[in-house]
Amino acid sequence: MLRAKTGRLTRELLREPSRFGLGQLPVVNKPDRTTTAVCGYCSTGCGLNVHLKDGPDGEPGGGGAIGLTPTTDYPVNLGMACPKGWEALAVLDAPDRATTPLLKDASGKLRPVDWNVALDAFCDRMKAVQRKHGPESVAFLSTGQIPTEEMALLGSLTKFGMGVVHGDGNTRQCMATAVVAYKQSFGFDAPPYTYQDFEESDCLIFVGANLCLAHPIMWERVMRNKRRPEILVLDPRATETAMNATLHLPAKPKSDQSFFYGLANYFVQNGWVDREFVSQHTAGFEEYAKFVEAFPFERVSRDTGLPVETLVDAALRIRSRERISCWWTMGVNQSHQGVRTAQAIINFQLLTGNLGKPGTGANSITGQCNAMGSRLFSNTTGLLGGRDFKKPEHRAEVAELLEVPEHSIQTEDGLAYPEIIEGVLKGKIRGLWVIATNPAHSWINRNQLDDVLSRLDFLVVQDMYHSTETAQVADLVLPAAGWGEKEGTFINSERRIGLLKKVRRAPGQALADFSIFQAIADRWGCGALLQQWTDPEAAFQILKRLSAGTPCDFSGVRDYRHLDEAGGVQWPFPAEGGDEAAERRLFADGQFYHRDGKAKFLFEEPRPLPEPAGGKYPFTLLTGRGSASQWHTQTRTAKSAVLRKLYPEAVYVEVNPRDARRLKVAPEQAVRVESQRGSIRAKAFVTNGVPEGCLFLPMHYPETNQLTDGQFDPYSRQPAYKACAVRLLADAT
């Protein structure tokens, strides 16, 4: 055996020069050809080179994907990828892939069935629920993880074909606040920036955003900045991003709104307002300037816990720079007052004229790979293409473009995610279809959701894996293809439409979500209504028509090949006069999407935390991303042996050393964290990264949302995951 020249661990270890600029590779990993595709994890939207083997019969690429590397010339990542991207193929081979439909039998166990039985069960039982309880008794919950074409087909099937009134997506959990803030302030959901702004800004302000972990490739773009920028991080925690800042501002949880009102007042009082920009391109400034007079730095210091001299230092650093950009993520969005906080950031950028120019912007960083596609085309609580269900002209336009009866389009918005859950609790919604999301893990106050799901007459889960917490309690599981096993488009944070390609076959009987929706439409009896939707690229052409004439117009994109060759295309890209530049920002002409062309100053008095720490629960619980190797509920990342080695297996809680000493908690000690809603066991991680009086739990573990409080922003209905009252018990026995 020691002298064997063939077999396992012999020739397969040999490395040979490879083509396509890949250097030396083991013989078994040498590709015959490569193709490109956009990554399917976060909203960064990185370009990946996928390595393909030819089939045994010589079919080009017929052997499927055998590896990947980041694309060096893709304008997003420029040859970089995070650990999740590198492992994108590995998670497709998990043993718990859903490979056949599963239907609950009389004993309550999920049993394999064929597609005909599954489709009959879906249609018969959903129709039975509607007949008994009315058309509003069935709802769906979708995702920001599937291609735009699939989202739009699902929204059209359910709303126009099945008569479903209520549907929403898990983007409600991450991006609804930014959507509403942009719509109210700018007149349309329009993140204005391009990633080049990371490199061209000379003052970057990150608010509740830990790019080093959550969006590491964006942080790489910051590191390319040659302007020696000021980097200010407003965050209660000393995050990895805060540690790399020129100034960390550890404000109290949810005091960001007061901070930006105070900053605006300081600039107004010192005459540091871009009066020309404000007068020509905004509305409501005088009222805003009067309002922020109530926020001198003395008050802001009390609200935020930051010394007055630190606030002045921050203001002077910002004032000394020419190109100011503000960036926020879930630390702002997931709040009881997220919309007005986001608008406090927008207001500051308006009064300083830092919009529409290189290195500027009020910039919301999206969460999921296709949250932007969901925001514009999921047809859930807003009509296709950023339109409004309540506007007759919008309904008429969509009916004509899709060749559907106008009366099939509802005239009111459907319920948002929280109201759908409440509707189940009240018995108004009896059938629920969950697609590519895992609410039994991710929804706020998840103990209540366990009760909610048990009340349904019929729960359908459509997913890559049969093992998710939600699939385990389903009546019917439909096996879906994942990233790399289907085609379509994603829209990333900077509005770039990127192409997803099918580079391998889905396992077993799993189908692309697009094909599942088509099959359900045919079995339901509304297939003729959707006859234009023949395949994903035909659907893309439909989306182009729906986008034409809107702020998100991309009717100038020819086809999938155009996207592939261009390295993605940012909207807007109209059929006439589209800017061919690889990276483009909005509002360079100072024109916004309100009828008068002006942006609005919107503001209101900050509100206290719904559940402040004190008494029996003296700590404020913060939640967020744990590592660059974890993703949401770990449905995919937990399937990679490489990624699992890069983060702790079990849930841990971060505790400040002073709190740990006071409670006699040692590092690595088992502790119990409790709120009014639940109690969990965790391992203590003692660190100065979390402030005294606060605890931090990563969002990825199923235990975390047993503690969170069901509070929501009044405008966006986004959950306030980030701050609730808890206690820490040293004895976890």
Global pTM? 0.95
Mean pLDDT value across residues 152-181 = 96
Question: What pLDDT was estimated at residue 731?
Answer: 72
* Rama region for 664: left / alpha / beta (φ>0; ψ in -120 to 50; rest): left
Q: Read off the amino acid at residue 211.
A: L
Nearest to residue 516, comparing CAs of 462, 562, 584?
462
Mean pLDDT value across residues 539-557 = 97
CA separation, residue 520 to residues 60, 464, 516 (Å): 33, 18, 6
Question: What pLDDT was estimated at residue 278?
Answer: 98
Question: What pLDDT was estimated at residue 733?
Answer: 58
Reply yes or no on whether the pLDDT at 9 is more than 80: no
The C-alpha atoms of residue 29 and residue 717 are separated, in whole angstroms, by: 48
Whether residue 174 contacts residue 333, with contact meaning beta carbons closer than 8 Å, is answered with yes
Per-residue pLDDT of 244-291, as tens digits, reads 999 999 999 999 999 999 999 999 999 999 999 999 999 999 999 999
Cα atoms in the Cβ-side hemisphere of radius 13 Å centred on 452 = 24
Reply yes or no on whether the pLDDT at 27 is more than 90: no
Of all helices (H) and strands (E), which one includes residue 241?
helix 240-243
DSSP, residue by residue, 153-164: HHHHIIIIIS--
Percent of the residues in the chain that have a pLDDT greater than 70, as a whole number: 99
Determine phi and psi for 66, rounding to 5 degrees. Answer: -120, -5
Whether residue 223 contacts residue 278, with contact meaning beta carbons closer than 8 Å, is answered with no
Question: What pLDDT was estimated at residue 58?
Answer: 81
Mean pLDDT value across residues 380-390 = 96
Question: What pLDDT was estimated at residue 14?
Answer: 78
Whether residue 488 contacts residue 535, with contact meaning beta carbons closer than 8 Å, is answered with no
CA separation, residue 107 to residues 110, 392, 460, 504 (Å): 9, 49, 18, 36
Per-residue pLDDT of 575-623, as tens digits, reads 998 888 889 999 999 999 999 999 999 999 999 999 999 999 999 999 9
Q: Read off the amino acid at residue 658.
A: R
Question: What pLDDT was estimated at residue 122?
Answer: 98
Mean model confidence pLDDT for the chain: 95
Helix/strand/coil for 169: strand
- Give the confidence band of 369 by pLDDT, cuts at 50, 70, 90: very high
Reply yes or no on whether the pLDDT at 318 is more than 90: yes
The C-alpha atoms of residue 449 and residue 422 are separated, in whole angstroms, by: 10
The C-alpha atoms of residue 327 and residue 331 are separated, in whole angstroms, by: 11
Question: What pLDDT was estimated at residue 2?
Answer: 60
Reply yes or no on whether the pLDDT at 129 is more than 90: yes
Per-residue pLDDT of 614-662, as tens digits, reads 999 999 999 999 999 999 999 999 999 999 999 999 999 999 999 999 9
